[in-house]
């Protein structure tokens, strides 16, 4: 609370700046891309400053507009929220820079429609990370869904519109279930603050179950994942990067707060969630191996990778709780960056070849080597090879599995890495060899290739920050 | 206080709405079913108050109505566009490109 003067403005910046820029970009069509990039740089600076503030003076609270909860909106900034804000700002800034060059060249019709929902999505994510109570989380989730569905519709063809509609309807059912859970919790505990409810010892299991089911639908967690691949594959590449990298993690973020700040349910329910994770890893990877189009491979890979996040629930028990939780958060962050890089590379493949049918990409590696390198490098993080962020995450989860005597989960973790290697290698390998003469591939712009590669390198690079981040993530859940 | 009726009716509406949302093929039916389900949730929310009247539960219902109107309006516009482009108002089987 020592930063009482500067912190409120700083805390508002990640929500207010993209929201204002989004509204401006609806009215003023010229210079939207430049506006988004400029605002993005400011948000990244503000988020980094917030990370410093949290490190120096601990968790920050803020009542928006001076109205105190429960009737006002309460914001809370802890280390996890600050870290998610910063990583989100980094990914969104890279995506903005990428979209600025990519859409003009590849999809000029989409260029003018992309920026307002993109900026709205950014604001919704920031509001989600900061929200302190369960009802404000609901509002933030709805804003996020609305912006995400808009991104899916952008190309305007039948597949995009149908995929968006299915996504919206699943999300509608999910939010109804979540809100019913909130109602039961408020009835039982008399508060919307999860920590307070848990302290009072009154968190009804039914409320938690309903909220969990709703969040699993929104976060495409198995078996409620069916809407994800068509929707994520139908969006333009920068949009897919946001959807797979950040939007589904938003629901996971709430789920994690719900289960591990209050510890509502222990035992078998957690094992069931873990089993669903195993099914997601296997099913997602099998379907990723069978897809004919590159974007669908990447989208099914998201289904599989989200399964790992469900493994946290059985693993975070007893002495190994903090190891599993910090590993899970690390996995979410590194997957965000790696999946963003993968979809941006897939977009460049689409630009270079004019399509993304894997069987007809032979010879692309010699025309766009850097694009394929970025794709493969992102795959390294997903596989969990050292020194990537994915490696640190899986190491933590493995430690928790073996240390806690739950070795079957460790087998799943390792087998999942093999499957990931399988579909990544299949996609990359199809681009080698000499191209048949009748194929004319375009060379993707070098600046865009650097952006995709930069994001893949960042996913690799956060492995080196583990010594600094892991202890603080563990402390956040103690 | 005969508030229990709100809770019971609310849960029944939620169940009916959710069921229809999944089984009805026409997207407009699905959309209306979703709104029925959410209205059921609002009834439960009204019932959830502590002390009468509880401003928190009323504020939640009001905000929820605003959110539901926004989502429904957007979904209706999306449905019209989808029906024009694809020529049908159902989702069909999982759609490839």
* Nearest CA among A349, A394, A338 for reference residue A90: A338
**In the structure encoding, which two tokens stand for residue A445, read together?**
């712009």
Contact between A282 and A419 under an 8 Å Cβ cutoff? The reply is yes
Band (A19; pLDDT cuts 50, 70, 90): very high
Q: In whole angstroms, how far apart are CA B23 and each of A390, A433, B40, B75, B95?
A: 40, 49, 18, 18, 18
What are the chain A neighbours of B79 within 8 Å (beta carbons)? 165
Mean pLDDT for the stretch of residues A442-455:
95
Tens of pLDDT, residue by residue over A92-150, are 999 999 999 999 999 998 988 999 999 999 999 999 999 988 999 999 999 999 999 99
Q: How far apart are the CA of B2 and the nearest CA of chain A, in angstroms?
A: 16
Measured between CB atoms, which of B22, B57, B71 is closest to A186? B57
What is the tens place of the pLDDT at every residue in A47-92? Answer: 999 999 998 888 888 888 888 877 888 899 999 999 999 999 999 9
**Residue A439 confidence (pLDDT) above 80:** no
Q: What is the pLDDT of residue A2?
A: 38
Separation CA B3–CA B48 (nearest Å): 9
Residues A159-176 have pLDDT tens digits of 999 999 999 999 999 999
With tokens 């990914």, the residue in question is: A91
Per-residue pLDDT band for A193 (boundaries 50, 70, 90) equals: confident
Q: Could you write out the DSSP letters of every residue in A337-364?
A: HHHHHHHHHHHHHHHHHSS-BGGG-TTH
Distance CA A442, CA A237 (A): 17
Q: How close, in Å, is residue A287 to chain B by CA atoms?
A: 14
DSSP code, position A445: P
Please name the residues in contact with A203: beta carbons below 8 A apart, sequence gap of 6 or more.
Answer: A185, A188, A189, A194, A197, A262, A264
Which DSSP string do the residues of A137-197 spell out, in sequence order?
HHHHHHHHHHHHHHHHHTT-SHHHHHHHHHHHHHHHHHHHHHHHHHHHHHHHHS-S-HHHH
Give the one of A142, A153, A177 whose C-beta lies nearest to B78's C-beta.
Answer: A153
pLDDT in tens, A205-226: 889 899 999 999 999 999 999 9
Q: Tokens 């939207």 label which residue?
A: A32
**Would you place residue A3 in the very low, low, confident or very high pLDDT band (cuts 50, 70, 90)?**
very low
> Could you list the mean pLDDT of each consecutive 10-residue stretch along chain B, which spans 97 residues?
81 96 95 96 88 84 95 97 94 53
First to last CA, chain A: 21
CB contact under 8 A, B74 and A168: yes
Please judge whether B71 and A293 are an interchain contact, meaning their C-beta atoms are less than 8 angstroms apart.
no
Residue of A nearest to B46 (CA): A183
Contact A161 B22 (CB under 8 A): no
CA distance B77 to A100: 28
Number of H helices, E strands in chain B: 3, 0
Tell me which chain A residues have a C-beta less than 8 angstroms from the C-beta of B70.
142, 146
Residue of A nearest to B92 (CA): A162
Q: Is A173:B39 a contact under the CB 8 Å cutoff?
A: no
Say whether A153 and B60 touch across the interface (CB within 8 A). Answer: no
Residue range A230-241: mean pLDDT, rounded? 95
Rounded-to-integer distance, Cα B6 and Cα B10, Å: 6
Residue A316 region by backbone torsions, left for phi larger than 0, else alpha for psi between -120 and 50, else beta: beta
Task: For residue B69, give how far its alpha carbon lies from the nearest alpha carbon of chain A (Å).
Answer: 12
Residues of A at the B interface, defined by Cβ within 8 angstroms: 70-71, 135, 138-139, 142, 145-146, 149-150, 153, 156-159, 161-166, 168-169, 172-173, 175-177, 179-180, 182-184, 186-187, 190, 192, 226, 230, 233-234, 293
Nearest CA in chain A to B94: A230
Contacts of A151 by beta carbon, 8 Å cutoff, 6+ apart: A114, A117, A118, A121, A235, A236, A239, A242, A243
All residues of chain A having their beta carbon less than 8 Å from the beta carbon of residue B55 are 71
The pLDDT value recorded for residue A70 is: 78
| Segment A415-419 mean pLDDT | 93
Q: What is the pLDDT of residues A299-319, one digit of tens each?
A: 999 999 999 999 999 998 888
Q: What is the pLDDT of residue A63?
A: 86
Task: Judge whether residue A286 has pLDDT over 70.
Answer: yes
Q: Cα–Cα distance between A364 and A161 in angstroms, integer? A: 30
- Chain B residues bordering chain A (beta-carbon distance below 8 Å): 14, 17-18, 21-22, 27, 30-31, 34, 37-38, 40-41, 44-45, 47-48, 50, 55-57, 59-60, 63-64, 67, 70-71, 74-75, 78-79, 81-82, 85-86, 91-92, 94-97
Instruction: Please compute the mean of the pLDDT values over residues A396-413 and round it to a whole number.
Output: 92
CA distance A68 to A74: 7
Percent of chain A residues past pLDDT 90, beyond the cut? 72
- Token readout for B39 is 């209205």
**Exposure letters A352-367 (e unless 16+ CB within 10 A, then b):** bbeebebebbbbbbeb
């Amino acid at each position: 609370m020592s930063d009482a003067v500067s912190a409120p403005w700083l805390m508002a910046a990640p929500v207010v700046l993209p929201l204002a820029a989004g509204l401006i970009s609806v009215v003023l069509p010229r210079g939207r891309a430049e506006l988004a990039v400029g605002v993005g740089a400011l948000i990244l600076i503000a988020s980094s400053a917030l990370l410093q503030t949290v490190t120096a003076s601990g968790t920050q609270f803020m009542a928006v507009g001076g109205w105190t909860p429960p009737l006002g909106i309460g914001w809370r900034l802890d280390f996890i929220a600050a870290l998610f804000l910063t990583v989100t700002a980094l990914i969104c800034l890279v995506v903005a820079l990428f979209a600025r060059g990519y859409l003009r060249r590849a999809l000029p019709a989409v260029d003018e429609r992309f920026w307002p929902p993109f900026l709205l999505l950014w604001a919704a994510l920031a509001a989600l990370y900061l929200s302190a109570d369960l009802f404000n989380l609901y509002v933030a989730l709805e804003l996020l869904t609305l912006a995400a569905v808009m991104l899916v519709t952008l190309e305007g063809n039948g597949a995009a519109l149908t995929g968006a509609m299915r996504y919206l309807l699943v999300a509608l059912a999910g939010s109804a279930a979540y809100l019913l859970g909130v109602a039961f919790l408020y009835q039982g505990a008399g508060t919307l603050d999860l920590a307070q409810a848990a302290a009072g010892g009154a968190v009804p299991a039914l409320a938690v179950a309903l909220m969990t089911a709703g969040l699993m639908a929104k976060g495409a967690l198995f078996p409620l994942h069916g809407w994800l691949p068509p929707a994520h594959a139908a969006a333009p590449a920068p949009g897919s990067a946001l959807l797979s990298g950040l939007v589904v993690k938003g629901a996971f973020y709430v789920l994690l707060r719900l289960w591990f700040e209050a510890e509502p349910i222990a035992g078998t329910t957690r094992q069931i969630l873990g089993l669903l994770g195993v099914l997601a890893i296997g099913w997602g990877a099998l379907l990723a191996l069978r897809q004919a189009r590159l974007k669908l491979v990447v989208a099914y890979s998201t289904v599989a990778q989200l399964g790992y996040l469900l493994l946290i629930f059985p693993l975070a028990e007893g002495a190994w709780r903090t190891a599993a939780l910090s590993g899970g958060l690390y996995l979410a962050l590194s997957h965000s960056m790696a999946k963003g890089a993968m979809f941006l590379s897939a977009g460049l493949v689409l630009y270079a070849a004019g399509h993304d049918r894997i069987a007809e990409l032979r010879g692309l590696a010699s025309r766009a080597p850097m694009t394929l390198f970025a794709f493969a490098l992102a795959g390294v993080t997903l596989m969990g090879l050292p020194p990537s962020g994915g490696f640190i995450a899986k190491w933590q989860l493995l430690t928790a599995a073996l240390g806690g005597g739950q070795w079957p989960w460790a087998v799943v973790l390792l087998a999942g890495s093999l499957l990931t290697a399988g579909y990544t290698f299949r996609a990359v390998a199809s681009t080698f060899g000499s191209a048949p003469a009748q194929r004319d591939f375009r060379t993707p712009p070098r600046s865009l290739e650097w952006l995709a590669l930069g994001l893949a390198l960042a996913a690799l690079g956060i492995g080196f920050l583990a010594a600094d981040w892991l202890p603080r993530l563990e402390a956040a859940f103690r | 206080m005969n508030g229990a009726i709100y809770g019971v009716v609310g849960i029944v509406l939620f169940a009916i709405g959710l069921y229809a949302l999944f089984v009805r093929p026409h997207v407009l039916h699905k959309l209306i079913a979703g709104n029925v389900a959410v209205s059921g949730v609002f009834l439960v929310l009204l019932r959830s108050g502590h002390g009468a009247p509880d401003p928190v539960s009323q504020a939640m219902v009001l905000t929820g109505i605003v959110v539901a109107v926004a989502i429904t309006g957007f979904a209706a516009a999306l449905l019209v566009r989808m029906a024009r482009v694809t020529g049908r108002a159902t989702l069909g089987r999982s759609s490839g490109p």
